Chain A
Amino acid sequence: MTGHVAPPPVALPDILAEYRPKPGVADELFDTNGAIRPVWNLLIEHLSCRTPDVIEEHFARGPKYLRDAGVYFRQYSTIPAPEREWPLSPVPVIIHEDEWAAICAGLTQRADLLEMVMADLYGPARLISDGHLPAELIAHSPEWLRPLVGVKPASGHFLHQVSFEISRNPDGTWFVLGDRTQAPSGAGFALENRIATTRIFNDLYPRSNVHRLSGFFRSFRDAMDQLPGKQGRRAAILTPGPNNAGYFEHTYIARYLGLLLLEGEDMLVRDGEVMVRTVEGPEPLGAIWRRVDSDYLDPLELREDSQLGTPGLVNALRQESIDMINALGSGILEMRAMMAFLPRISKELTGAPLQMPNIATWWCGQSSARDYVKTNLDRMMIGGARDLDLPFDVGATTAQSEAMRDAGPDKLEAWIDAEGKGLVGQELVTVSTAPAYVDGKLMPRPMTVRVTAARTPNGWNFMPGGYARFGLSDAATAMAMQHGGSVADVWVVSDAPVPASQPVVESSAARIEPEALPSRAAENLFWLGRYVERIDAALRMIRAYHLRLAETGDPEDPRLFTLGGFMGNVGIAMDATIPSALMSLLSSAHNCASKVRDRFSPDGWEALQDIGKSIERLERSAAPGDDCARAMSILLRKVTGFSGLVQENMYRSAGWRFLALGRALERCDSIAMSTIVFADPGAPQGCCEIAIELGDNAMTHRRRFRGSPSPQSVRDLLICDPFNPRSALFQLDQILELARFLPKGTDGRPSELERIILPLQAKFAVADAEYLTADDLGALRMELSRASDVLWSIYLR
Chain B
Amino acid sequence: MQYDITLTIEYSYDGASDHARNLLHLLPLHVPGVQDVTASLLTVDPMPQERWDGPDFFGNIATWVSHLEAIDAITMSLKTKVNRRSSPLGMDISAGLATLGSDIDAIQSLAPDAPHHFLGRSPRVAPAAEMTEFARQQIIEGMSTLSAVQAIGRALHDYLDFDAAATDVDTPAAEAFAHRHGVCQDFSHIMIACLRGIGIPAGYVSGFLRTVPPPGQKRMEGADAMHAWVRAWCGTDMGWIEYDPTNAIMVEDDHIIVAYGRDYSDVSPVRGVMRSSGGHDTKHYVDVLPVD
Residues of A within 8 A of B (CB): 125, 128-131, 134-136, 138-140, 142, 146-147, 149, 268-272, 299-301, 303-304, 311-312, 315, 797
User: Do the beta carbons of B116 and A125 come within 8 Å of each other?
Assistant: no
**A-B pairs with lowest CB-CB distance, top 8:** A139-B116, A146-B57, A311-B273, A311-B21, A140-B120, A135-B116, A136-B116, A125-B110
Interface residue from A128, A301, A303 paired with B110 (Cβ < 8 Å): A128
Chain A residues whose CB sits within 8 angstroms of the CB of B265 once the complex forms: 304
User: Do the beta carbons of A147 and B57 come within 8 Å of each other?
Assistant: yes
The residue of chain A having its C-beta at the shortest distance from the C-beta of B123 within the complex is: A304
Complex Cα–Cα for A268 and B275 (A): 11
Chain B residues 23-67 with CB under 8 Å of chain A are 23, 50, 52, 56-58, 64, 66
Task: Tell yes or no: B121 within 8 A of A by CB.
Answer: yes
Q: How far is the CB of A665 from chain B (nearest CB, A)?
A: 23
Task: Tell yes or no: B108 within 8 A of A by CB.
Answer: yes
User: Do the beta carbons of B119 and A140 come within 8 Å of each other?
Assistant: yes
Chain B residues 64-81 with CB under 8 Å of chain A are 64, 66, 68
User: Do the beta carbons of B119 and A300 come within 8 Å of each other?
Assistant: no
Chain B residues 169-187 with CB under 8 Å of chain A are none
User: Do the beta carbons of B21 and A139 come within 8 Å of each other?
Assistant: no
Complex Cα–Cα for A315 and B271 (A): 14
Q: How far is the CB of B196 from chain A (nearest CB, A)?
A: 11
Complex Cα–Cα for A71 and B215 (A): 76
The residue of chain B having its C-beta at the shortest distance from the C-beta of A315 within the complex is: B64
User: Do the beta carbons of A304 and B271 come within 8 Å of each other?
Assistant: yes
The residue of chain B having its C-beta at the shortest distance from the C-beta of A303 within the complex is: B123
Task: Tell yes or no: B107 within 8 A of A by CB.
Answer: yes
Chain B residues whose CB sits within 8 angstroms of the CB of A149 once the complex forms: 57, 110
Contact with A along B1-34 (1 / 0, CB 8 A): 0000000000000000011011100000000000
Q: How far is the CB of B97 from chain A (nearest CB, A)?
A: 17
User: Do the beta carbons of B271 and A300 come within 8 Å of each other?
Assistant: yes
Chain B residues whose CB sits within 8 angstroms of the CB of A140 once the complex forms: 116, 119-121
Task: Tell yes or no: B117 within 8 A of A by CB.
Answer: yes
Chain A residues whose CB sits within 8 angstroms of the CB of B104 once the complex forms: 136
Chain B residues whose CB sits within 8 angstroms of the CB of A270 once the complex forms: 50, 68
User: Do the beta carbons of B110 and A299 come within 8 Å of each other?
Assistant: no
Chain B residues whose CB sits within 8 angstroms of the CB of A311 once the complex forms: 21, 273
Complex Cα–Cα for A311 and B272 (A): 9
- Not counting A146-B117, A315-B64, a sample of 13 additional A-B residue pairs whose C-beta atoms are within 8 angstroms of each other reads A125-B110, A129-B108, A131-B108, A135-B114, A136-B104, A139-B116, A139-B117, A140-B116, A271-B50, A300-B64, A301-B23, A311-B21, A312-B21
User: Do the beta carbons of B109 and A129 come within 8 Å of each other?
Assistant: yes
Chain A residues whose CB sits within 8 angstroms of the CB of B114 once the complex forms: 135, 139
Given A147-B56, A270-B68, CB of A135 within 8 Å of CB of B107: yes
Complex Cα–Cα for A135 and B109 (A): 6
Complex Cα–Cα for A299 and B21 (A): 10
User: Do the beta carbons of B123 and A300 come within 8 Å of each other?
Assistant: no
Complex Cα–Cα for A315 and B53 (A): 12
Given A140-B121, A312-B66, CB of A135 within 8 Å of CB of B23: no
User: Do the beta carbons of A299 and B273 come within 8 Å of each other?
Assistant: yes
Interface residue from B21, B22, B57, B110 paired with A138 (Cβ < 8 Å): B110
7 contacts between A and B (CB under 8 A): A125-B109, A131-B108, A136-B119, A271-B50, A272-B50, A299-B273, A315-B52
Complex Cα–Cα for A749 and B288 (A): 58
Number of residues on chain B facing chain A (CB within 8 A): 30
Of residues A139, A147, A303, which shows the largest number of chain B Cβ atoms within 10 Å of its Cβ? A139
Chain B residues whose CB sits within 8 angstroms of the CB of A147 once the complex forms: 56-57
Given A140-B119, A300-B271, A304-B123, CB of A797 within 8 Å of CB of B18: yes
Residues of B within 8 A of A (CB): 18-19, 21-23, 50, 52, 56-58, 64, 66, 68, 104-105, 107-110, 114, 116-117, 119-121, 123, 265, 271-273
Of residues A131, A271, A311, A315, which shows the largest number of chain B Cβ atoms within 10 Å of its Cβ? A311
User: Do the beta carbons of B273 and A128 come within 8 Å of each other?
Assistant: no
Chain A residues whose CB sits within 8 angstroms of the CB of B105 once the complex forms: 134, 136
Interface residue from A125, A129, A138, A300 paired with B23 (Cβ < 8 Å): A300
Complex Cα–Cα for A91 and B186 (A): 60
Chain A residues whose CB sits within 8 angstroms of the CB of B64 once the complex forms: 300, 312, 315
The residue of chain A having its C-beta at the shortest distance from the C-beta of B112 within the complex is: A146
User: Do the beta carbons of B19 and A268 come within 8 Å of each other?
Assistant: yes
Chain B residues whose CB sits within 8 angstroms of the CB of A139 once the complex forms: 110, 114, 116-117, 119-120
The residue of chain B having its C-beta at the shortest distance from the C-beta of A147 within the complex is: B57
Chain B residues whose CB sits within 8 angstroms of the CB of A142 once the complex forms: 121
The residue of chain B having its C-beta at the shortest distance from the C-beta of A309 within the complex is: B273
Complex Cα–Cα for A146 and B118 (A): 13
Chain A residues whose CB sits within 8 angstroms of the CB of B121 once the complex forms: 140, 142
Complex Cα–Cα for A147 and B114 (A): 16
User: Do the beta carbons of A300 and B110 come within 8 Å of each other?
Assistant: no
Complex Cα–Cα for A271 and B49 (A): 9
Chain B residues whose CB sits within 8 angstroms of the CB of A134 once the complex forms: 105
Complex Cα–Cα for A502 and B105 (A): 54
Complex Cα–Cα for A270 and B18 (A): 13
Complex Cα–Cα for A750 and B107 (A): 69
Chain A residues whose CB sits within 8 angstroms of the CB of B123 once the complex forms: 303-304
Complex Cα–Cα for A29 and B189 (A): 59
Q: How far is the CB of A495 from chain B (nearest CB, A)?
A: 51
Chain A residues whose CB sits within 8 angstroms of the CB of B66 once the complex forms: 269, 312
Complex Cα–Cα for A299 and B18 (A): 17
Chain B residues whose CB sits within 8 angstroms of the CB of A128 once the complex forms: 108-110
Of residues B22, B68, B104, B120, which shows the largest number of chain A Cβ atoms within 10 Å of its Cβ? B120
Complex Cα–Cα for A130 and B271 (A): 36
Complex Cα–Cα for A269 and B21 (A): 10
The residue of chain A having its C-beta at the shortest distance from the C-beta of B68 within the complex is: A270
Chain B residues whose CB sits within 8 angstroms of the CB of A301 once the complex forms: 23
Complex Cα–Cα for A303 and B124 (A): 11
Q: How far is the CB of B23 from chain A (nearest CB, A)?
A: 5
Interface residue from A272, A300, A315 paired with B273 (Cβ < 8 Å): A300
The residue of chain B having its C-beta at the shortest distance from the C-beta of A136 within the complex is: B116
Complex Cα–Cα for A138 and B56 (A): 18
Q: How far is the CB of B49 from chain A (nearest CB, A)?
A: 8
Complex Cα–Cα for A134 and B115 (A): 13
Q: How far is the CB of B25 from chain A (nearest CB, A)?
A: 12
Chain B residues whose CB sits within 8 angstroms of the CB of A131 once the complex forms: 108
Chain B residues whose CB sits within 8 angstroms of the CB of A269 once the complex forms: 21, 66
Chain A residues whose CB sits within 8 angstroms of the CB of B120 once the complex forms: 136, 139-140
Q: How far is the CB of B154 from chain A (nearest CB, A)?
A: 29
Q: How far is the CB of A146 from chain B (nearest CB, A)?
A: 4
Chain A residues whose CB sits within 8 angstroms of the CB of B56 once the complex forms: 147
Chain B residues whose CB sits within 8 angstroms of the CB of A312 once the complex forms: 21, 64, 66
Q: How far is the CB of B189 from chain A (nearest CB, A)?
A: 15
Complex Cα–Cα for A696 and B271 (A): 57
Chain A residues whose CB sits within 8 angstroms of the CB of B19 once the complex forms: 268
Complex Cα–Cα for A136 and B56 (A): 20
Complex Cα–Cα for A797 and B277 (A): 14
Q: How far is the CB of B232 from chain A (nearest CB, A)?
A: 16
Complex Cα–Cα for A634 and B245 (A): 73
The residue of chain B having its C-beta at the shortest distance from the C-beta of A793 within the complex is: B18
Q: How far is the CB of B118 from chain A (nearest CB, A)?
A: 9
Complex Cα–Cα for A90 and B221 (A): 71
Complex Cα–Cα for A124 and B119 (A): 22
Q: How far is the CB of B216 from chain A (nearest CB, A)?
A: 43
Complex Cα–Cα for A475 and B117 (A): 42
Complex Cα–Cα for A315 and B108 (A): 29
The residue of chain B having its C-beta at the shortest distance from the C-beta of A318 within the complex is: B54
The residue of chain A having its C-beta at the shortest distance from the C-beta of B104 within the complex is: A136
Chain A residues whose CB sits within 8 angstroms of the CB of B52 once the complex forms: 315
Q: How far is the CB of B268 from chain A (nearest CB, A)?
A: 9
Complex Cα–Cα for A459 and B22 (A): 40
Complex Cα–Cα for A129 and B107 (A): 8
Chain B residues whose CB sits within 8 angstroms of the CB of A303 once the complex forms: 123
Q: How far is the CB of B53 from chain A (nearest CB, A)?
A: 12
